[in-house]
Amino acid sequence: MPLRRFLLALILLAPLAARQAPPPNPVQTLYTKEEVQIPMRDGVKLFTILYLPKDTRTPHPILLQRTPYGIWPYGPAVFPRSVGPSPAFLGQGYIVAYQDVRGRFMSEGTFVDARPANPASGPKATDETTDTYDTIAWLVQHVPDNNGKVGMWGISYPGHYVVQGMLCGHPALKAVSPQAPMMDMWEGDDAYHRGAFQLTANFGFFLFFHDRTGTPGHAWPQVADVGTPDSYQWYLDAGPVGGLAHRVATPISRIWDEYLAHPTYDAYWQARDLRRRIRDVRPAVLTVGGWYDAEDLFGALACDRALTRQSPATDHHLVMGPWTHGQWADGDATHIGPVDFGSNTAAWFERDVELPFFNHYLKDAPGPLLAQATVFDTGRDQWRTFGAWPPERAHQASFYLEPKGGLAMARPGPKGGYDHFVSDPAHPVPYTQAISFDYWPPYMVEDQRFASRRPDVLTYETAPLAQDLTLAGPVRAVLHVSTTGTDSDWIVKVIDVLPDDAPDPAERPAGWHAAGSQQLVRGDVIRGKYRNSYTTPEPFVPGRPTQVAFTLPDVFHTFQKGHRLMVQVQCSWFPLVDRNPQVFENIFQAKPGDFQPAEQRVYHAAGQPSRIEVRVLD
């Protein structure tokens, strides 16, 4: 090739080569990395990775995350592509510290799931609050160029450690953000919902969440392959929950056995209820949650309520967005499944809420002027702010179940009656149409027409609304029911029914149509034997009408003019919730022959007014 043509080819190929070259790692460019062992008061050392800004012209605040999930990538020469709560924090001058909690991966000691407070006294007594305190004390004393101010953040289990940490009392801890924190795993977070075991989420989780210590690799642990994507059929074929651990080749975590050993709200769960410990919280708090987070929606709301009631002097704020579990940290949160929210709500939160919050309390930057509650209306697709949550001006209202599938605000007349169906554990109602072995987060907005067409799901709906209806706050279900069995689960769903002429969005999943869609807004469950007491279960008397009442997590949703408000009632939700044999017993000891069909009745008479109680915002 002539030299001129060779040089011309190099010139033409240079832009292509530049495009193909991997971009420089921004973390490696901006930070140095150190791995340290931080001693606790009892001598146990906790492995911690530090990312230290190379720019040392001014002191930097410290952001700390404590986690049981590993702090990848391990190794002093291996860098992630982002550190801190979001990429918005890169270049903002934060020292970022990640720590393996006690007994996990590279940290010493023994791991205890959601380790309760240690009531022991003495200089060597430890729990998560003391581990946090000792970590912060070490960081402030030993990390160079820090300004003496520390913040914490974390999502889900790490969010649980933030709540534990904000109780530690160290004066350097100035700001914390518990995001989807586990607060009470029996009443409403990951393990149980009022006694109903969260089957698919827990089984999938504990297939990979094992005791892990020692040098880890550089990859996230893989979930065991069960050989099928069809969770509904697999769990049905596998039989009672008590024998599930023997249906997979990979050992399941010992914590699975702990959960099954404590089906009631006993001392095991009570010791892990963080609501009981929220007192005199000193750092500023930014609690974050997602309206469509089926794992820890309860926890975010419970954390904020506990702060309001039990630590009123704390500077605390609540943000609730249109998100599934942790979706606000995924970079793009414009939609869930077919439901589009009109903007990238995650990017807005990261840039305009989360970063200014920490900058204000840790770097003395101007305040973000956050309201007490910044919440997303999932029916209008817009953010709203309030001085309290739920909004103080929202008023109580009830919608009563009526004969022939009606739903109205007028109390039922004296004649009333009941609706009935047969609940058969051999043919439980699925929680989603998706074929997936993993827990399926988009079910939280899924079209419920697949359920309303089943004979074992009762459906009640209003006439088309003459004006917008905004629900803002918790939803309380009050059912008057009877069963021919001695136990039963009760599931209540609140649904937004779109008009039959609702236009489809420009982009939608194949087979989905907005017209007539029954979009799930909120749903939850109670195991009926816990209707009167979480600690002392009671059987139903077959055929005797009984009140079953429970509170679903909050909603903030506008049912627009022309839409309908729908309520569905059913007695299975599989495999999101394990099957109830409909016989009063320890379900985890049930045999296949114990599972029996039962006739279920839902009453709607003047003396038995089944209903949902809501808060309406005018």
Q: What is the pLDDT of residues 56-66, one digit of tens each?
A: 999 999 999 99
Q: How many DSSP H helices and E strands does the chain contain?
A: 12, 26
Query: What does pLDDT average to over the chain?
Result: 94
Confidence of residue 422 (pLDDT cuts 50, 70, 90): very high
pLDDT at 367: 85
Identify whether the C-beta of residue 341 lies closer than 8 Å to the C-beta of residue 327.
no
Please state, in angstroms and rounded to a whole number, the distance separating the CA atoms of residues 131 and 122: 14
Instruction: Give the residue carrying structure tokens 């799931």.
Output: 113
CATH for the 395-502+510-616 domain, from 1.10.8.60, 2.60.120.260, 3.90.1150.10, 3.40.50.300 = 2.60.120.260
- pTM over the 0.85 mark: yes
Please state, in angstroms and rounded to a whole number, the distance separating the CA atoms of residues 480 and 396: 20
CATH class of the domain comprising 26-184+272-386: alpha beta
pLDDT at 223: 61
Average pLDDT over residues 206-221: 71
pLDDT at 416: 75
As given in the structure block, the two tokens for residue 5 are 């043509």
Confidence of residue 290 (pLDDT cuts 50, 70, 90): very high
pLDDT, one tens digit per residue, over 305-359 is 999 999 999 999 999 999 999 999 988 899 999 999 999 999 999 999 999 999 9
pLDDT at 512: 83
Helices 199-206 and 231-238 sit at what angle, rounded to 10 degrees? Answer: 90
Confidence of residue 7 (pLDDT cuts 50, 70, 90): very low
Identify whether the C-beta of residue 317 lies closer than 8 Å to the C-beta of residue 329.
no
Confidence of residue 615 (pLDDT cuts 50, 70, 90): very high
Name 258's Cβ contacts closer than 8 Å, sequence gap at least 6: 113, 268
Q: Decide: helix, strand or coil at residue 238.
A: helix
- For the cut 70, the answer to whether the pLDDT of residue 429 exceeds it is yes
* Pick from 17-31, 104-118, 420-434, 589-603: least confident: 17-31
Please state, in angstroms and rounded to a whole number, the distance separating the CA atoms of residues 97 and 34: 10
pLDDT, one tens digit per residue, over 371-387 is 999 999 999 999 999 99
Name 480's Cβ contacts closer than 8 Å, sequence gap at least 6: 545, 546, 547, 548, 602, 603, 604, 608, 609, 610
Name 583's Cβ contacts closer than 8 Å, sequence gap at least 6: 485, 486, 487, 590, 594, 595, 596
* Pick from 187-196, 241-250, 574-583: least confident: 241-250
pLDDT, one tens digit per residue, over 437-479 is 888 999 999 999 999 999 999 999 999 999 999 999 999 999 9
Confidence of residue 435 (pLDDT cuts 50, 70, 90): very high
Cα distances (angstroms) measured from residue 352 to each of 84, 155, 244? 16, 19, 46
pLDDT at 14: 52
CA-wise closest residue to 84 among 143, 15, 155: 155
Average pLDDT over residues 152-159: 98
CA-wise closest residue to 55 among 97, 96, 92, 84: 92
Average pLDDT over residues 11-17: 49
Domain range summary for the chain, segments of one domain joined by +: 26-184+272-386, 195-268, 395-502+510-616
pLDDT at 4: 44
Q: 33 - beta bridge partners?
A: 51
Cβ burial of 308 (10 Å; 0-12, 13-18, 19+) is: middle
CA-wise closest residue to 58 among 365, 295, 326, 436: 365
Average pLDDT over residues 186-193: 98
As given in the structure block, the two tokens for residue 483 are 């069963």
Average pLDDT over residues 403-408: 96
Identify whether the C-beta of residue 358 lies closer than 8 Å to the C-beta of residue 528.
no
Confidence of residue 19 (pLDDT cuts 50, 70, 90): low
pLDDT at 6: 36
